[in-house]
Structure formats: C-alpha cells, structure tokens
C-alpha cells in the first residue's frame, strides 16, 4: 500500500499544490496539504485518461508528461512578481494573507477575504483535525489487512488495467476481438501503479481505490476548511455510509469521480467578487478530468454548477450576473460536448436495452439505508441554512440530484437510449450521489465559525449546532469509525466473501506454459485478470459498453455440453479452467473427454482427452435433509448460476461452528474415493470429519480457513459407508456482521461462523 501511495503521490503532489494555490490563494500550507493530494490525483487521472482517448497511452509517455507538469507547477509556485500590478488575483490574495501588500494597493474584497480566512485559521481545533485525519486514514486499512477487495466490480477494472499494461489500449483480450468503451482514467492510472510497483492488476486496482477515498476525504476537509468547517466535514461524512460502502463494494471509479466535487466546493461556494477567471478554468479542468474517470462525477458537478447559476441569477448584482454568464457559457460548452458524445456514440448502442434499476428507486429506500442518519441531520441543518446563499445552493443541489433518481421509476422502458444510458450510469447513486451534498450542509451547521452569505439584510446566519449536540455527534462518529474498523478487521478473515475462491487464485500459476486457448467460465470467478502472457482466455466481463466483433465463448460452451471435440481441436483449445463457485465443473467431471490436469480446493484445470479415455466421476449434491443439525442458507451466488444438473437449488445446508452433525451419504458401488466440496464461513477452529465405517481412516482433519475447499478420502468398503460425522474444536461460533445481508445476496446480517456443504464427488474403480 505504501508503494502505491508513493507512486501516485510523488508525481502529483506538486501539481496538486500549484492547483490549490491558484484555486485558493487564501490557503495556508496546512490547507494546501489537505487539498494537494486530491487535486493532484484528479490531474493525474485526467492526463492518463486523455492519453488513452488519444490512443497514446504508455508508461513512458505518461511519465514524461508528469515530469513536464511538475516543472510547470514548480515555476507556478515559485514565480513571484515584485510589482503588485503584475501579480495574478490569486497571488495578490496570497500576498494579502501574509501582509505583504500595502493597504492602499489592496482591493477591499481581498482584504476582507484575507481577514475572514485568517480568522478561520486562528480558530482551527488541532484536536478535531487530528481526530478527523485518523478517521480519514482508516480508509487505508482494508488493503493492509487483505490482498484483494470484496465485491465484483474490481475484477472488471482489473481486466481493463491488465490490457493497458500489456497492450496500452482497451481492446478485448484472449479469444475475443473488439473493445471496451469505459472511462479510461482509473484503469490507466492503476496500470501505471501496476507497472511501477510490480503489483498484479487486481491489487493495483484495490490499493488505488482506497488511496483515492483517503485523499478524497482530505480534499473535502481542505475545501470546507475555506468555510471554517474542515474538521467538521469529516465528522459529517462519518454520519453516512454511501461512499464508504461503495468503496467496500469495489466501485472505485464512481468514488474517484467525486474528486471533482473538491473543486466544485472550493469554487462554487464563494462570494461573487471572490470568483474569477482562474476559478472558471479550474472548474472546466475538473469537469474534463472527472468525465474521464466516471460520468456520475461529471453529472454531480454539473448539477452543482446549475444550482450555483440559478441562485446567482436571483441576486440583484449586474457584475455578478456577467460573471455567471461567462461561467455558464464555458461550462455549457463542456456539457454540450459530453451530451453529444453520449447521444451520438454511446446511446445508440443501448437502443435495445431497457431502463435499469438493480437496487430499486435510488431516491427511496436505498437513500435511507446508506445515508438515512445523515439525511435527518442535514434536514435540520438545511432548515437553518436556508437563509444563506451557500445553504440554498447546497439544498438545491441535493434536490436536483434527488429528482435525477426518478429515472429509476420507469424501469423496463425500452427504446429510449438516453434514459437507458442514464440509468446504467446512475444505477447505485444512493451510495455516491447524496453523501457529499448532505455532508456539506451538516459541516456548516456543526462549525461555530463560518462566514456564509445572507440572502438579504434581515436574514440571520447564526445557525450553529448546540455545543452538547456537536460533542455527541463527534463522539458517535468516532465510536462508529472504531466499530467500522473492527468490522473491517473481522471481515479480513472472511475470504468466502470474495468473488473468486482461494483455489482459483492458486491455479493461475498452473496456466504458465500452456499453448493455445483456455476455456473459462463467463462469470466473475472465470475472468482471469492475471493470465500469463500468451495464454488466451475465452471469457470477458461486460464492463461499460462492450463492442464484440468475434468471440468463441458461446460456441465453446455449447461444445462443452455436447462433447464436440472437433471444435476444441480446430481452435487449439485444449484446456479449461473451472471454479468451485461455478457450474461448468459438473459437466466436465462427468465427461470422458476432460481429465484433471491440476486442482486446488475444488478449482480445476482440465485437459482435453480426444480419445475419450479420461476418468469419469459421479457427482451427488448434498441436501439439507442429508445433514442433521444443519440449517438452510442461501447461496450468495445463486443468481449467477444458470445450470443446476445436481438439483442443488438456491439453498445450501449450513452447520454452525460448535454444532456436531451427521452427514448421510449414498455410496455408489465400486467407489474408491470420496471428495467433499465444502465452504468454510470465516476462520473457524479445528474442523474434523469422522467416518466410523467404510473409510480408509476413521478420522480426518479438514481445512478450516475461509472459502471453498475440497477434501478427499479413500473408501475401503462402499457397502458400510452410509454416514460421516462433523466435529469441531470450539463449542460456540463466532458472531460477525455479514455485509451480504445488507446487499440482498444473503438474508442474515448478524451471522455465525460454520461450514456450508455443496456436493460429493465419487471416483469409481475401473
């Protein structure tokens, strides 16, 4: 994790520092230290993504451009003009903050802004900032505890990253011809990390995603510090789960696109006479960079701009109106280009797709689940801040976002490509659309030192959270942060939550040296992001918009089902890779044309036997009635399994740790080996299988680390093997918070450690 942070921070910190100086000349070194990592990373994303769009991406060229940016940034930071008239507006403000400009040469607006900012800096609470930094740093904990993230989206990002590492483009890998259409900034930056650090693409994506969340939190604190609410911004963010849950679920580009909001908060929540040309240019830079990360961030920033313009036009100030018009013209040009690309390039490819709503209406239950507490507190804050210009801008911003979620109410509507594209873009907006706007309102209310603009002379801005309530909120967030990290520490031992099994990862090494194509399942566990160079896989994730000119996946799958050996010989596809989480192993295990070349914990590398002389296996699913003391639990991946020849259904028998149970088996005649595929939930104590009669040994120790495993036992007497017993070292299971209970993949939130049984594989004497 440290290497990733250094690789990203080192080339971006100076450009970020320069940008923070230009956008906020009143910032001192502390504020710039908060802003620079976020603004620098946003610039790095923009440059890297632009190179991909221009089909020029390479680590060498990216490195050269970063060196050039650092040279420009150094000159910008250190260039000083002796004559005041030659100084830019931000340089004059910077000088005013240090008392370097004489009173008679300093504009009144500069003096007033400098005075307000100096007051904010004097009232900073060292303790609160220290606590805020600790809470923000907790975003880096997960990559330190585990090697791969939870969720499934990261696998697609890793595939894109690997293609950029190998090819420098987003062309499809393996046996597929075509390309991905996806915002390239995040995967290309992850590719930079992978190349420089030597990490595989999956780990590079994981670590970059969490580093991005960390610097985003710092950036929001820095932007809100300009309003005297920097430390409180972190505590306000802590009242919601949205961005944290999205990061946990590996939606890294969606979170990274929020970096543009740092610029938005810095530029669009300020007095009219404090916003100038360089702020408009900074906003355009943010819109451009964010659009290369993920369109959601660009949409959110554009709506903040719209809210800013709407309320600015309501002010009776012609000079302010003129500034707004210039801002609106420039921003409209960017937005128009974005819509043109969406309408002409992307939307037509979704003409046959329906409006999508995986999680339901994003402005309803999902909003309450992930940001409900923050929403309640923000509602109270909004009531008092309605008399301020900044408060009204934030309230309108949230309202526009909420209205945008109405697209999900027309789920299923077809032949409206723009709405389909919008729904696919915003499918989980309850996690990442509302968190920052609500936190901004709460932070202003929490801070006892702000200088918000009243909308009229009679309006009062004295609306601050009572001291006792503020203390309680800070305490609750700290307790919640400690609890969240305890949960993260607990989940690090639950590798069964990963979208790949431990055996899948081990078998990646067995692919080295294989000549030709390898059949892989068209599911998360079948997408090999770290395949050896020269080994072509058949499956690819459908990330973003995929343009496929040709693919062998569907034809190869059909050939598997019908034992079409000719197809595999003609296409030099002599191997197949299956996961215990998938279903294709059930087909290959019973085929005489596919034999085991290597296996690890249920994951299997199969080799084609054209003569049909491979050993065949008999499979037998384990049902709930086969296991005494077992309870029924849903298979979290049930929606991703489209064949069920064993009749397992959606449920699996689950035996809690500490509960002994008997497993009934029907041993086929002539069986010489029995293999049991099971799944350990959490890191349990000792797990044992006892076979009183029929096995070669009466007592067997089983692997008890989390995830799928396969244990095999010799059979001495098939006629006497009718039952085996499961025993434990511990008497009670450990309790743990199961995030799948929140996502809907499972029905249990407060879960127990134990073991799930899946199926038995029998080897018959030939």
> In the chain, where are the structural domains located?
2-491, 502-615, 619-764
pLDDT of residue 84: 47
pLDDT of residue 93: 59
Structure-model confidence comparison of residues 267 and 107, the more confident one = 267
Does the pLDDT of residue 573 top 60, yes or no? yes
Q: b/e string for 389-427 if b means 16 or more Cβ within 10 A? A: bbbbbbbbbbebbbebbebbeeeeeeebbebbbbbbbbb
Structure-model confidence comparison of residues 211 and 614, the more confident one = 211
pLDDT of residue 186: 96
Q: What percent of the chain has pLDDT over 70?
A: 88
pLDDT of residue 471: 93
Distance between CA atoms of residues 518 and 531, nearest Å: 10
543's tokens: 């990330």
Which range, of 308-317, 357-366, 617-626, averages the lowest pLDDT? Answer: 308-317
Which range, of 157-161, 276-280, 671-675, averages the lowest pLDDT? Answer: 276-280
619-764 folds as Jelly Rolls (2.60.120)
Contact yes or no for 460/274 (Cβ under 8 A): no
Q: Output Rg (C-alpha) for the chain, integer angstroms.
A: 29
Q: Residue 617: left (phi > 0), alpha (psi -120 to 50), or beta? A: beta
The sign of the CA dihedral 546, 552, 555, 559 is negative
Residue 426's nearest CA partner among 184, 246, 237, 254 is 254
How long is the chain? 766
Mean pLDDT of 401-409: 87
Structure-model confidence comparison of residues 124 and 746, the more confident one = 124
Residue-wise pLDDT for 210-252, tens only, equals 999 999 999 999 999 999 999 999 999 999 999 999 999 899 9
pLDDT of residue 82: 47
Distances (CA, A) of 564 to 250, 516, 644, 652, 656: 38, 18, 21, 33, 43
Q: b/e string for 694-708 if b means 16 or more Cβ within 10 A? A: bbeeeebebbbebbb
The pTM (predicted TM-score) of the whole model is 0.92
Distances (CA, A) of 90 to 19, 20, 29, 107, 557: 11, 10, 15, 12, 63
Tokens 């369109």, residue located: 295
Average per-residue pLDDT in the chain? 87
The sign of the CA dihedral 316, 320, 322, 325 is negative
Residue-wise pLDDT for 248-266, tens only, equals 989 999 999 999 999 999 9
Residue-wise pLDDT for 618-644, tens only, equals 999 999 899 989 999 999 988 888 888
Q: Tell how strand 750-752 and strand 707-714 pair up.
A: unpaired
Measured between its terminal Cα atoms, the distance across the chain in Å is 52
26's tokens: 């009143």
Contact yes or no for 207/1 (Cβ under 8 A): yes
Contact yes or no for 166/148 (Cβ under 8 A): no
Q: What secondary structure does DSSP assign to 344-355, as a single string? A: IIIGGGGTTPPP
pLDDT of residue 103: 47
pLDDT of residue 742: 72
Residue-wise pLDDT for 492-545, tens only, equals 888 889 999 989 999 988 898 888 899 999 999 999 998 888 899 999 998 888
Distance between CA atoms of residues 547 and 528, nearest Å: 19
pLDDT of residue 711: 93
Distance between CA atoms of residues 450 and 585, nearest Å: 63
234 alpha-carbon distance from chain centroid: 20
Residue 89's nearest CA partner among 68, 62, 113 is 113
- Please name every residue paired with 760 in a beta bridge, in sequence order, or none if there are none: 620, 676
Distance between CA atoms of residues 585 and 274, nearest Å: 65
531's CB contacts (< 8 A; 6+ apart) are 162, 173, 174, 508, 511, 537
Distance between CA atoms of residues 528 and 520, nearest Å: 8
Distance between CA atoms of residues 643 and 280, nearest Å: 55
Does the pLDDT of residue 419 top 90, yes or no? no
Distance between CA atoms of residues 728 and 443, nearest Å: 50
Distance between CA atoms of residues 193 and 161, nearest Å: 10
pLDDT of residue 83: 47
Structure-model confidence comparison of residues 463 and 138, the more confident one = 138
Distance between CA atoms of residues 78 and 412, nearest Å: 57
Residue-wise pLDDT for 156-169, tens only, equals 999 999 999 999 99
pLDDT of residue 104: 44
């Amino acid at each position: 994790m440290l290497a990733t942070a250094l690789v990203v921070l080192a080339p971006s910190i100076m450009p970020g520092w320069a940008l923070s100086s230009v956008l906020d000349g009143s910032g001192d070194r502390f504020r710039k230290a908060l802003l620079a990592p976020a603004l620098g990373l946003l610039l790095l994303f923009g440059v890297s993504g632009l190179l991909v769009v221009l089909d020029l991406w390479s680590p060498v060229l990216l490195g050269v451009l970063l060196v050039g940016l650092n040279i420009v940034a150094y000159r910008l930071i250190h260039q000083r003009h002796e004559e005041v008239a030659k100084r830019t507006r931000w340089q004059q403000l910077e000088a005013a903050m240090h008392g370097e400009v004489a009173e008679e040469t300093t504009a009144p607006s500069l003096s007033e802004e400098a005075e307000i900012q100096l007051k904010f800096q004097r009232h900073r609470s060292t303790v609160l900032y220290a606590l805020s930094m600790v809470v923000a740093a907790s975003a880096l904990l997960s990559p330190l505890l585990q090697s791969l993230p939870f969720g499934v989206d990261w696998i697609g990002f890793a595939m894109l990253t690997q293609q950029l590492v190998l090819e420098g483009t987003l062309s499809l890998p393996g046996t597929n011809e075509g390309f991905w259409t996806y915002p390239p900034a995040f995967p290309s930056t992850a590719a930079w990390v992978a190349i420089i650090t030597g990490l595989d693409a999956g780990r590079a994506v994981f670590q970059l995603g969490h580093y991005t969340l960390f610097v985003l939190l710092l950036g929001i604190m820095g932007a809100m510090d300009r309003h005297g609410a920097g430390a409180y911004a972190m505590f306000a963010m802590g009242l919601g789960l949205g961005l944290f849950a999205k990061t946990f679920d590996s939606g890294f580009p969606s979170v990274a696109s929020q970096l543009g909001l740092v610029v938005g908060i810095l530029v669009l929540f300020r007095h009219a006479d404090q916003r100038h040309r360089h702020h408009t240019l900074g906003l355009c830079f943010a819109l451009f960079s964010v659009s290369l990360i993920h369109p959601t961030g660009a949409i959110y920033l554009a709506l903040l701009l719209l809210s800013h313009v709407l309320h600015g036009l309501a002010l009776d100030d012609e000079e302010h109106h003129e500034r707004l018009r210039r801002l609106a013209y420039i921003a409209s040009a960017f937005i128009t280009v974005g819509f043109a690309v969406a309408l002409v390039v992307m939307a037509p490819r979704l003409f046959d797709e329906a409006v999508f709503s995986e999680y339901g209406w994003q402005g309803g239950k999902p909003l309450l689940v992930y940001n409900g507490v923050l929403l309640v507190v923000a509602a109270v804050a909004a009531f008092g801040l309605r008399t301020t210009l900044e408060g009204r801008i934030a309230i309108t911003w949230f309202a526009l976002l909420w209205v945008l979620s109405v697209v999900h109410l027309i789920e299923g509507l077809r032949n409206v490509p723009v709405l389909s594209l919008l729904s696919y873009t915003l499918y989980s907006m309850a996690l990442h659309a509302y968190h920052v706007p609500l936190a901004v309102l709460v932070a202003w209310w929490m801070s006892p030192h702000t200088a918000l603009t009243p909308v009229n002379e009679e309006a009062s801005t004295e609306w601050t959270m009572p001291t006792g309530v503020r203390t309680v909120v800070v305490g609750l967030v700290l307790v919640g942060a400690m609890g969240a990290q305890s949960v993260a520490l607990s989940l690090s031992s639950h590798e069964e939550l990963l979208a790949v099994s431990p055996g899948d990862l081990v078998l990646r090494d067995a692919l080295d040296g294989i000549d030709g194509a390898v059949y892989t399942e068209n599911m998360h566990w079948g997408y090999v992001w770290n395949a050896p160079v020269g080994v072509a896989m058949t499956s690819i994730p459908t990330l973003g918009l995929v343009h496929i000119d040709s693919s062998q996946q569907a034809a190869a799958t059909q050939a598997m089902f019908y034992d079409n050996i000719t197809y595999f010989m003609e296409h030099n596809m002599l191997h197949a890779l299956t996961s215990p989480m998938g279903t294709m192993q059930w087909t290959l295990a019973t085929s005489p044309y596919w034999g085991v070349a290597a296996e690890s914990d249920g994951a299997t590398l199969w080799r084609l036997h054209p003569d049909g002389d491979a050993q065949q296996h008999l499979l037998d699913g384990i049902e709930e009635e086969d296991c005494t003391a077992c309870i029924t639990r849903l298979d979290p991946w049930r929606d991703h399994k489209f064949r069920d020849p064993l009749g397992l259904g959606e449920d699996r028998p689950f035996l809690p740790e500490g509960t002994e149970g008997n497993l009934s088996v029907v041993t086929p005649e002539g069986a010489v080996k029995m293999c049991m595929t099971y799944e350990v939930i959490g890191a349990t104590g000792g797990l044992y299988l006892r076979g009183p009669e029929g096995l070669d040994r009466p007592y067997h120790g089983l692997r008890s680390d989390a995830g799928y495993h396969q244990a095999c036992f010799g059979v001495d007497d098939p006629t006497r093997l009718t039952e085996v017993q499961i025993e434990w070292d511990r008497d009670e299971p450990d309790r743990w918070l199961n995030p799948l209970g929140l996502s809907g993949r499972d029905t249990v939130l407060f879960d127990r450690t134990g073991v799930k049984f899946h199926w038995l594989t029998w080897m018959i004497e030939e």
